[in-house]
Structure 1
């Protein structure tokens, strides 16, 4: 945890639900810029975009993925987002295909008015992502912003409660989630998608705000489910879930200081200090 913890406070968050197109990096950047501009006009200070929103998602080969990936922070997408963040005085968390030499990562960058802040590399790869990407190696970093401490997860990371818990233990108030959610089998009609249910549960059990920006559309026969959502630190949606089909921007005005105060549930119970490390033991040892 950083030595200095900023005072959490009110901030307007926007989650951009858009439809990137695989291979069209310039077009995807232009579309993202239009959405970022629109969100900033509505007063958003922190703007979250989907996973791999610069490149698209469904690659035909690792060679195609490598050709569409960029260096961070020197690549053209990061440079454009940095210029936008500086001009609009906003913070941006967005998914990008990262190239480091010949190694590829499914990454989310964090950019502010003063430029590049840092990045998160997706820890848990979904399905054919395992062909193209290397699992993340940066842990779960948490970044100081003027309105609070912000962590990042990407899509399938949300199926692992440890990711959100590590963020909370490092003092995160909010986790931003660029995502490309796909349909889950056996989803009952009329119910929230499992991704939304998991987000609500993780927000509640860690007293974290969570902001998920999903994509829409069908790409090379793969459908995406939309349903972008912003959940408060009690676990309840305060914006969204958005449509499953349409591009949109959802907004929420959040007081991030509540994430710290609401971890205490009553006189006796605090979500993080009540953890029984003496009983849980070493998770790794249990799997051997």
Structure 2
């Protein structure tokens, strides 16, 4: 059996970073990574900008907290933990590349840096500090399966999930900082939960979404991290709206390939009408195995 055919235990770490307290945030994240790994997690996803906090007041503040990848201390700490524990980690980071700042995520494994993802769709004041992502939607081959990554607002764009799925993504890792949505019915699941459930269903991919909690400089965050099967139904979570928490689920990544057929006639990626619209949405990206 190939490694990607074996069940994989995934974890979404819900935590409360503090703005500007990078060393403490990374240390707290490492404590939760250790706990998740001790519980059997092989793939561990942390929130967006989990090393620095989110609500910057100026670009100068964001730049002072930003780090190069992989040379910076946060990535180094996550790589060391991945090597020591034998796990894969996806973590949100404020990245500096020359004069540019990116809202990024690093993907690391026991052997070191696997890759990075830069948030494509910026939300609100992020546009004052960050450059929109310039790496597209890369998919990373790992022993656990093919990993894609989105960050928060990227999930609101069906194209994001579709382009990752068409390149062969099986697990979408989502570091996020979800905020309240106007008009949200408090008796209903969060809009963010509905969106990632729908994306998992329509692309036959697993989704591991790790949100943060707490209020930072007046901005509340909603928690409710979750892990979604390729069917669109949650297999863990939603988590609490206001507490740190670790969600764990065992998934069979091969199901993202074998169970794409909804019946004898329909398979969502195969049924696309590429005579009506471009197979890769005009991006020029080459399709992968799907």
Partner residue in 2 for 1:240: 237
Partner residue in 2 for 1:195: 192
Partner residue in 1 for 2:82: 85
Does residue 146 of structure 1 match 2:143?
yes
Question: Over residues 125-169 of structure 1, what are the superposed CA-to-partner deviations in whole Å (9 max), with x where a residue is unaligned?
Answer: 000000000000101111111121110000000000111111110
Partner residue in 1 for 2:269: 272
SS, match of residue 213 in structure 2: coil
Q: Is the 8 A contact 1:65 1:132 kept in 2?
A: yes
Does residue 226 of structure 1 match 2:215?
no
Q: Is the 8 A contact 1:69 1:98 kept in 2?
A: yes
How far apart, CA to CA, are the structure 2 residues paired with 1:198 and 1:151? Answer: 17
Q: Is the 8 A contact 1:7 1:257 kept in 2?
A: yes
SS, match of residue 217 in structure 1: strand
Task: Output aligned runs, 1:1-288, within 5 Å.
Answer: 7-280=4-277
How far apart, CA to CA, are the structure 2 residues paired with 1:256 and 1:133? Answer: 33
Report the TM-score when normalising by structure 2.
0.94
Give unpaired runs (5+ residues) of structure 2. 283-290
How far apart, CA to CA, are the structure 2 residues paired with 1:8 and 1:244? Answer: 34
SS, match of residue 224 in structure 1: strand
Shift of 1:232: 0.3
Question: Over residues 241-279 of structure 1, what are the superposed CA-to-partner deviations in whole Å (9 max), with x where a residue is unaligned?
Answer: 000000000000000100001112222211111111222
Aligned structure 1 segments of 4 or more residues deviating by more than 3 angstroms: 5-8, 281-284
Report the TM-score when normalising by structure 1.
0.95
How far apart, CA to CA, are the structure 2 residues paired with 1:73 and 1:145? Answer: 18
Give unpaired runs (5+ residues) of structure 1. none
Question: Over residues 162-182 of structure 1, what are the superposed CA-to-partner deviations in whole Å (9 max), with x where a residue is unaligned?
Answer: 111111101111100000000
Partner residue in 1 for 2:286: none
Q: Is the 8 A contact 1:6 1:144 kept in 2?
A: no
**Superposition RMSD in Å:** 1.3
Q: Is the 8 A contact 1:8 1:146 kept in 2?
A: no
Shift of 1:185: 0.1
SS, match of residue 83 in structure 2: helix
Shift of 1:281: 5.0
Task: Indicate the larger mover: 273-282 or 240-249.
Answer: 273-282
How far apart, CA to CA, are the structure 1 residues paired with 2:60 and 2:186? Answer: 38
Task: Indicate the larger mover: 113-122 or 258-267.
Answer: 258-267
